[in-house]
């Protein structure tokens, strides 16, 4: 069943965006009494289409909520790479993405472009979340400066190409009970020494991801796959 | 330093393809005495460009060889999805890829198209291997029928959407010492019951990858990330 995220809930009705209504009518060609899955406020409902394409709640579906929060801090990259990261991160369970201005990042966006881009990014995350049947859409914040990120709390990790000893695996084994993990991934040219030492003095732990040499857009997918795997329960 | 894979080694010289020579001359604008990394037969060399763009071996570099073999069996997908899987799989350490004809795969290729596609796939794998500084290029075989894959040996896994109990994690924990792992990933519509039972009777173990609902092209990246992570040594 097709899944949509509602904008609001009013008594026993769910309010969808115009884009979603267009999708329902014109792409999916659905009619009165057809049912859809609708998520609002991390709650899943089965909704029924009324004559005027309002959505009436038919049923409330219990869902597991995973309380582990995964926050990714990513560099600004070319559009296709950003799009890939956002789509795949939503599939792989990210909670929040913070795009960060970094010294060696090649991409610079003026504020008008950045605003437009943010709307595009939110759309990609929403669509990927629908397709992956998530009950939430990952949050993406406006672009931040690294120096503004001093008050994040949680298990803070920076993927460093200079680190040789301290593996991601070791850090995860030693911090099994975390409820919030923050992972920063550097740009193509890597982080500067200055950026790394600022991060370390802000409580970030440097880790190596092992021997693979990955393109920068592959790194978040690698890390998210592993975080998901580590939280898999073995019976 | 730029890395290339040589076609042959003749005494103290390495023979590169015309494409690579073009890249060296025209894209990289390298000259006599400039050095490059060249891999031949899983051995890394430092080579020096001669006047006529022949490559003379300057040094032999010792390299770690990882003996774990990872073989991916993947469905035929749309071109952009195939390309993504191949590029990322090379980055994430795959050894061999076997494209498999599956009942619910939407894509069908006639033999002429399949031959052309194979050349394209090999090129993607070679370029990704150069960029990831691998010492080998993953092998990709021509498209095979599932019924022809009866004599593979190793730890054989099929990612199944019907399996609920047996997680990938459990299987990996119980088979730590494997030296060859074979992972089959189904097409967008999933494997048919018939295909699954044929695989099981050929020694494949059904696993679930957990709760995430991923697009099909994300699954190999997820699995390869995990296999790599599981082989990371914690000191």
pLDDT, tens digit, 9 for 90 and up, residues A52-107 = 889 999 999 988 777 789 999 999 999 999 999 999 999 999 999 999 999 999 88
Instruction: Give dist(CA A61, CA A40) in Å, integer.
Output: 12
pLDDT, tens digit, 9 for 90 and up, residues A17-35 = 999 999 999 999 999 999 9
CB contact under 8 A, A222 and B225: yes
pLDDT, tens digit, 9 for 90 and up, residues B120-145 = 999 999 999 999 999 999 999 999 99
Can you tell me the ipTM of this complex? Answer: 0.90
The chain A residue lying nearest B130, using CA atoms, is A213
Q: Tell me which residue of B81, B11, B21 sits closest to B53, measured CA to CA.
A: B21
A234: pLDDT strictly greater than 80: no
pLDDT at position B80, please?
Answer: 95
Q: Is A113 helix (H, G, I), strand (E, B) or coil?
A: helix
Q: What angle do CA B110, B112, B117 make, to 5 degrees?
A: 90
Instruction: Report how far apart the first and last C-alpha atoms of chain B are (Å, whole number).
Output: 30
Task: Place B108 in a pLDDT band, splitting at 50, 70 and 90.
Answer: confident
Give the count of Cβ contacts less than 8 A between chain A and B. Answer: 94
From residue B44, give the alpha-carbon distance in Å to each of A192, B47, B154.
Answer: 29, 10, 28
Residue B232 near chain A (CB below 8 Å)? yes
pLDDT, tens digit, 9 for 90 and up, residues B139-168 = 999 999 999 998 899 999 999 988 989 999
Q: Domains of chain B by range and CATH? A: 3-61 (2.40.240.20), 69-230 (3.40.1280.10)
B64: pLDDT strictly greater than 80: no
Where are the alpha helices (H) located in A47-181, listed in sequence order? 79-91, 111-131, 168-174
CB-neighbour burial class of residue A218 (10 A; exposed 0-12, middle 13-18, buried 19+):
buried
Residues of B with CB below 8 A from A235's CB? 165, 167, 170
Long-range Cβ contacts of B174-178 (<8 Å, 24+ apart): B178/B68, B178/B154
pLDDT, tens digit, 9 for 90 and up, residues B214-231 = 999 999 999 999 999 998
Closest partner CB to B218 (pick from A91, A133, A173): A91
Average pLDDT over residues A141-147: 94
Write down the pTM of the prediction: 0.91
Q: Tell me which residue of B187, B40, B47, B38 sits closest to B108, measured CA to CA.
A: B187
Instruction: Give dist(CA A168, CA A170) in Å, integer.
Output: 6
A175: pLDDT strictly greater than 90: yes
Residues 6+ apart with CB under 8 A from B96: B69, B70, B71, B72, B138, B139, B140, B141
Closest partner CB to B214 (pick from A91, A165, A170): A91
Residue B178 near chain A (CB below 8 Å)? no
B84: pLDDT strictly greater than 90: yes
Q: Across chain A, where does the E strand assignment appear?
A: 3-5, 8-10, 13-15, 35-40, 43-49, 55-61, 69-75, 96-101, 139-140, 144-145, 155-159, 180-185, 205-207
């Amino acid at each position: 069943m097709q899944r949509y995220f509602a904008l609001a809930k009013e008594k026993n009705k769910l309010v969808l965006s115009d884009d979603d209504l267009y999708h329902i009518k014109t792409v999916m060609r659905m009619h009165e009494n057809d049912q859809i899955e609708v998520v609002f406020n991390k709650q899943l409902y089965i909704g029924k289409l009324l004559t005027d394409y309002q959505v009436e709640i038919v049923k409330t579906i219990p869902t597991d909520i995973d309380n582990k929060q995964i926050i990714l801090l990513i560099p600004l990259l070319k559009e296709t790479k950003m799009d890939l990261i956002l789509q795949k991160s939503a599939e792989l369970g990210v909670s929040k993405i913070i795009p960060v201005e970094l010294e060696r990042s090649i991409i610079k966006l003026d504020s008008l472009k950045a605003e437009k881009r943010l709307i595009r990014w939110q759309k990609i995350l929403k669509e990927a979340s629908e397709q992956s049947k998530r009950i939430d859409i990952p949050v993406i914040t406006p672009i931040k400066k690294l120096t503004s990120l001093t008050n994040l709390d949680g298990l803070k990790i920076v993927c460093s190409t200079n680190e040789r000893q301290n593996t991601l695996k070791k850090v995860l084994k030693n911090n099994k009970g975390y409820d919030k993990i923050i992972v920063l991934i550097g740009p193509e040219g890597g982080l500067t020494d200055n950026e790394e030492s600022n991060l370390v003095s802000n409580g970030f732990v440097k880790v190596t991801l092992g021997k693979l040499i990955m393109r920068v857009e592959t790194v978040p997918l690698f890390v998210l796959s592993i975080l998901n795997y580590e939280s898999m329960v073995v019976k």
